[in-house]
Amino acid sequence: MEFDYIVIGSGAAGAVIASRLSEDPRTRVLLIEGGGPGRNPLLHYPMGFYFTLKGGRYTYRYRTLPVAQTGEREVWTRGRVLGGSTAVNGMMYMRGGRAEWDELEALGNPGWGWDTVLPAFREMEGHTLGASEWRGGDGPLGVSIARTEAGLDRAIIDAGVARHGWATGEDVNAMEGERIGFSPATVARGRRTSSASAFLRPHAGRPNLAIATGTRAERLLFDGDRVAGVLALRGGNREQFDAAREVVVAAGTVETPLLLERSGIGDPSVLGEAGIAVRVASPKVGTGVKEQRMVPSQFRLGRRAGLTEELNTLPRQAWAGARYILARSGPVSRMPYNVVCHFKSAPELERPDVQGILTPMAMELGFHDYRLAKHSGILFSGYPINPRSSGSIHVSGADLTAPPLIESSFLAAEEDRAATRPILDRFRELMAAGPLAEYVEAEDFPGPEVRTGDEVLAWAAEAGAGIYHAVGSAAMGPDPDDVLDERLRLRGVEGLRVASAASYPIQVSGSSMAPTLALGWIAADLIAADR
């Protein structure tokens, strides 16, 4: 089977690329996705991710190597379904601003500054607030603001303004500097917008776009110095697909370096240890992985308020479900992390370096347990926006089933520790400020034993976690050793690009979905221009 382009992975970037390349009816595009087609309605209800993230039906769940700080292995979850992680994620849509994008460009990546990226966002977005100089109004990607009329949510925002002097407005993506407001979300008319629902399903009838779900790319195939196809496993059978023009690897930050290494593209010493022959020596494949580490905390409320009260008993869940079915309204129709703030960890900084997420909901045993508490509360997690510590992801063997070696590195760089130490103080100050103080009764966790900056770092290591945003495992950069050039072409071979969160050398926003969707949009332009 021959196509012009083969895109591997249908997540934030891959779905956009396949969709846009196939707009030209003469271009034959194959999109290969390891997961299924994603027909479960829970994938489309914003609150459905509470269920779809459990178990392994729609996700990969990787165990890391023991982390340095605790010696414990942690679990990294990623989407494995049409739409990739955008089909199961938290839906927070944070784009980053001019300063962050211009920093990426200044690192030696021409064409990735704000003046290129903002037009891509504007073309892509169908924002319910409508078009403006900051956002798009009639693009395919449904975005809305997780605004509620709840008094508690308003009190959180008002406390940020009153206590910290943060700015607020209807759209925090249309603001810069320290700010707090309702979260922008990939939710439209009460339904999750995934990259599949926005970019693939509307074009399912295109004869020149083939979508092979349940098909896992095992390795890339070469014709001399050119990548000419893909060997994939489908239903237990090996199948070969040929690409007349290019293969685009869009398999996410974890799977992308694994696929490259299985194909013989990587650091010769890593490949040697895994028993894989070298096709293209590319020493940085699998390195430079940047993931944020969040500091969790939770406050108990002295009165009933917030999402816990709407969802913490079976009758309430049934009522929430009925409201959703009848009117697409209520808590099931919204993303739960509905307040976001950006602040500076030190006043002398030029711009915010911490993102905080506030959820008007209490959990029983901590952030990652997904079990609602009986009492009302506010859950907070804060983390450095652009961490400098970096880890790695490599294969442990040539076989598709060989488990990855994920070295998760966090809080190793002093910049990351400096950004993390004051996070709890800022949040505690917020909770003590009017009008929020009238709701708050006590701190559920971590409690008074975590006070000093170093205690906060220890708490982040012990109780915190990565937040699924890792980037950088096959990144662009100006050095000959960098895996990609600024057009996302893999150095040292023809016919191969990498377009996914893996392609970013730094975190350009507090969240990685919006940047990766934009990367897909821009990648499609680059590929079309290079034809």
Ligand X SMILES: Cc1cc2nc3c(=O)[nH]c(=O)nc-3n(C[C@H](O)[C@H](O)[C@H](O)COP(=O)(O)OP(=O)(O)OC[C@H]3O[C@@H](n4cnc5c(N)ncnc54)[C@H](O)[C@@H]3O)c2cc1C
Which range binds ligand X by CB under 6 A, 117-125, 384-392, 445-453, 513-521?
A: 513-521
Q: Does 10 bind ligand X (CB under 6 A)?
A: yes
Q: Does 251 bind ligand X (CB under 6 A)?
A: yes
Binding mask 168-207 for ligand X (x = CB under 6 A): ----------------------------------------
For the bound state, the minimum distance from the C-beta of residue 481 to ligand X, rounded and expressed in Å, comes to 22
CB 370 within 8 A of CB 358: no
DSSP code for 345: S
Of 431, 513, 518, 527, the residue at the interface with ligand X (CB under 6 A) is 513
Query: In this structure, what token pair is assigned to residue 154?
Result: 């308003």
User: How far does Cα 415 stand from its chain's mean position?
Assistant: 22
Q: Does 311 bind ligand X (CB under 6 A)?
A: no
State which of positions 258-277 bind ligand X (CB under 6 A): 259
Q: Does 11 bind ligand X (CB under 6 A)?
A: yes
User: Which H or E run includes 116?
Assistant: helix 114-124
| Count of residues interacting with ligand X (CB under 6 A) | 40
For the bound state, the minimum distance from the C-beta of residue 289 to ligand X, rounded and expressed in Å, comes to 12
Of 512, 518, 522, 527, the residue at the interface with ligand X (CB under 6 A) is 512
- Helices then strands, each counted (H, E), the chain: 14, 25
For the bound state, the minimum distance from the C-beta of residue 380 to ligand X, rounded and expressed in Å, comes to 15
Query: In this structure, what token pair is assigned to residue 431?
Result: 């909770």
Q: Does 522 bind ligand X (CB under 6 A)?
A: no
Of 4, 19, 20, 33, the residue at the interface with ligand X (CB under 6 A) is 33
Q: How many CA atoms lie within 13 A of 326 on its CB side?
A: 7
| Whether the bond into 480 is cis, omega within 30 of 0 | no
Question: Any alpha helices (H) in 136-245, and if so which ranges?
Answer: 151-164, 195-199
What is the rounded CA–CA span in Å between residue 519 and residue 139?
16
For the bound state, the minimum distance from the C-beta of residue 26 to ligand X, rounded and expressed in Å, comes to 25
Q: Does 37 bind ligand X (CB under 6 A)?
A: no
Q: Does 217 bind ligand X (CB under 6 A)?
A: yes
For the bound state, the minimum distance from the C-beta of residue 195 to ligand X, rounded and expressed in Å, comes to 7
Which residues have CB under 8 Å from 327's CB, separation 6+? Answer: none
The residue (of 11 and 330) whose beta carbon lies closer to ligand X is 11
CB 375 within 8 A of CB 306: no
What is the rounded CA–CA span in Å between residue 388 and residue 384?
9
Q: Does 145 bind ligand X (CB under 6 A)?
A: no
The residue (of 250 and 285) whose beta carbon lies closer to ligand X is 250
Of 18, 250, 311, 498, the residue at the interface with ligand X (CB under 6 A) is 250
Any catalytic annotation for residue 164?
no
The residue (of 53 and 398) whose beta carbon lies closer to ligand X is 53
For the bound state, the minimum distance from the C-beta of residue 367 to ligand X, rounded and expressed in Å, comes to 12
State which of positions 76-135 bind ligand X (CB under 6 A): 77-80, 84-86, 88-92
Q: Does 216 bind ligand X (CB under 6 A)?
A: yes
What is the rounded CA–CA span in Å between residue 370 and residue 510?
22
Determine which one of 44, 342, 394, 469 is catalytic. 469
Q: Does 53 bind ligand X (CB under 6 A)?
A: yes
Query: Exposure of 429 by Cβ count < 10 A (0-12 exposed, 13-18 middle, 19+ buried)?
Result: middle
Q: Does 32 bind ligand X (CB under 6 A)?
A: yes
For the bound state, the minimum distance from the C-beta of residue 517 to ligand X, rounded and expressed in Å, comes to 8
User: Which H or E run includes 429?
Assistant: helix 423-431
User: Which H or E run includes 249?
Assistant: strand 237-249
For the bound state, the minimum distance from the C-beta of residue 141 to ligand X, rounded and expressed in Å, comes to 13
For the bound state, the minimum distance from the C-beta of residue 472 to ligand X, rounded and expressed in Å, comes to 11
Binding mask 441-480 for ligand X (x = CB under 6 A): ---------------------------xx-----------
Q: What is the CA radius of gyration of the chain?
A: 22
Which residues have CB under 8 Å from 275's CB, separation 6+? Answer: 397, 398
What is the rounded CA–CA span in Å between residue 279 and residue 264?
5
DSSP code for 505: S
Q: At what angle do helices 98-106 and 114-124 cross, to 10 degrees?
A: 130
Q: C-alpha distances in angstroms, 217 versus 228, 263, 400?
A: 14, 10, 9
> Residue 356: phi, psi to the nearest 5?
-120, 140
What is the rounded CA–CA span in Å between residue 38 and residue 289?
28
Of 411, 501, 524, 527, the residue at the interface with ligand X (CB under 6 A) is 501
The residue (of 13 and 450) whose beta carbon lies closer to ligand X is 13
- Residue environment code for 147-175, b if the CB has 16+ CB neighbours within 10 A, otherwise e: bbebebbbbbbbbbeebbebebeebbbbb
Q: Does 219 bind ligand X (CB under 6 A)?
A: no
Q: Does 14 bind ligand X (CB under 6 A)?
A: yes
Of the candidates 484, 476, 464, 471, the residue with the CA atom closest to the CA atom of residue 513:
471
Q: Does 288 bind ligand X (CB under 6 A)?
A: no
**Considering Cα of 114, then 117, then 120, then 121, what sign does the dihedral take?**
negative
For the bound state, the minimum distance from the C-beta of residue 379 to ligand X, rounded and expressed in Å, comes to 14
Q: Does 386 bind ligand X (CB under 6 A)?
A: no
Q: Does 255 bind ligand X (CB under 6 A)?
A: yes
Whose CB is nearest to ligand X? 11
Which range binds ligand X by CB under 6 A, 150-158, 166-174, 251-259, 279-287?
A: 251-259
Q: Does 252 bind ligand X (CB under 6 A)?
A: yes
Residues that bind ligand X (CB under 6 A): 8-14, 32-35, 53, 77-80, 84-86, 88-92, 216-217, 250-252, 255, 259, 468-469, 500-501, 511-514, 516
Active site residues: 469
